[in-house]
Amino acid sequence: MSQKRDYYEILGVARTATGQELKSAFRKLAVQYHPDKNPGDKVSEEKFKEASEAYEVLCDPDKRARYDRFGHQAPGGFGPSPFEAGFSGNINDIFGDIFGEIFGQRGRSRAARQRGADLRYNLEVSFTEAAFGTEAKVKIPRHKECAVCHGSGTRPGTGPKTCPTCHGAGELRMTQGFFQISRTCGQCQGTGKVITDPCMTCRGAGKVETESVLTVKVPPGVDTGTRLKLTGEGESGERGGPPGDLYVVVHVQEHPIFIREDTEVICEVPISFTQAALGATIDVPTLDGKVKMKIPSGTQSGKVFRLRGKGVPHLNGYQRGDQHVRVTVEVPEELTKKQRELLEQFATLAGEDAHPQSKSFFAKVRELFGSEESEEEATG
């Protein structure tokens, strides 16, 4: 007869292992070597039996103390193995979890109080509402506890009956190979009770579909994708469980003038040729309304000016970003005869000195390609 292996060695834990460490080690081995995951594999079956026996002894404080002192030769032994005498409460609890992983169900856990489902609502707000915050009324369809039966699902004055299939246990026991397993009762769904006289309002569901109107406070600085959580405003729980939460996901509409980058606001403002050349003071739109902005003489197209504190507020903060104003010089598409004459005079008088950027650019071109003219003409 082969000598038994050390129980601590079987579970792969130290002799000082806590109860939770023992449980975790056994759970891992039981899932790995469970016969239903390894059908027909005698080696896995023996390892499963071995791990179950080791845990059965070590999870019991009295048995563990005797094992630590005397080993496998403890006076009186440790009784029959779990497969010979039925599983203890401790080991059955773990098997319930393991079977849930293997068979996709949790047995009696289905009868426990369950938290309600979370809900999602997509809320569209304007650009300025996102920047400065707003309050929105939203209609949320959801299931609430039936006010007539108070969630029991039974007609007032009656109550649920004991399930005739599982006799109130909420589960059915069956033999699987060399041990017993439990599965959730399909008739009562693990509650141990069935409704024979349902509530006429909710038809036995314990819930009714309603539409609630909620006020959502949108804080300043939100952006597309921001999630606002309304605790307890989701679906109601099962069997007295707490309700879920409502998540409001913000979508910000595009603005016809402004572009947003985080807390910064960008806009383009067209100015005339004369305003750019001579300088001017122009009206610039901001989130707070129009402001005066000075354009220095000689301003080039594409120049960006900063208006500090005119951007979007930081979410959950007090400071604001800046606004960036990019000016574009607008060239007139049609000229009168007089305008053309004046511009031609200006071009003659100004010469190259009036356009230092062009002068510098074409100087670099001549340096790169020489003074020879290109054989190809550019067409406009």
Query: Which CATH number characterizes residue 229's domain?
Result: 2.60.260.20
- One domain, residues 64 and 82: yes
| Residue 347 domain boundaries | 337-369
- One domain, residues 49 and 130: no
Neighbours of 327 (CB within 10 A): 22
Determine the pLDDT at residue 357: 67
Q: What is the mean pLDDT of each run of 10 residues along the chain (380 residues)?
A: 80 91 89 79 88 88 87 75 51 54 45 78 95 93 84 84 85 64 78 85 84 92 94 81 91 95 95 92 95 94 95 88 95 88 84 63 71 48
Give the span between the Cα atoms of 7 and 55, in whole angstroms: 8
In a domain, 84, yes or no: yes
**Bridge-partner residues for 134, per DSSP?**
218
- One domain, residues 238 and 147: yes
- One domain, residues 30 and 74: yes
Tokens representing 344?
């031609």
Using an 8 Å Cβ cutoff, are 4 and 72 in contact? yes
- One domain, residues 74 and 177: no
In a domain, 32, yes or no: yes
Using an 8 Å Cβ cutoff, are 245 and 274 in contact? no
- One domain, residues 297 and 325: yes
Per the structure, how many domains does the chain have? 5
End-to-end CA distance of the chain: 100
Give the span between the Cα atoms of 289 and 247, in whole angstroms: 33
In a domain, 376, yes or no: no
- One domain, residues 282 and 348: no
In a domain, 375, yes or no: no
- Give the angle 112-116-117 at the CA atoms, nearest 5°: 130
Residues 6+ apart with CB under 8 A from 342: none
Residue that is last in its domain, among 233, 254, 275? 254
Q: What's the CATH code of the domain at 30?
A: 1.10.287.110
- One domain, residues 23 and 135: no
- One domain, residues 144 and 223: yes
In a domain, 220, yes or no: yes
Give the span between the Cα atoms of 248 and 137, in whole angstroms: 12
- One domain, residues 136 and 207: yes
Give the span between the Cα atoms of 200 and 208, in whole angstroms: 11
In a domain, 2, yes or no: no
In a domain, 231, yes or no: yes
- One domain, residues 169 and 277: no
In a domain, 374, yes or no: no
- One domain, residues 34 and 80: yes
Using an 8 Å Cβ cutoff, are 279 and 297 in contact? yes
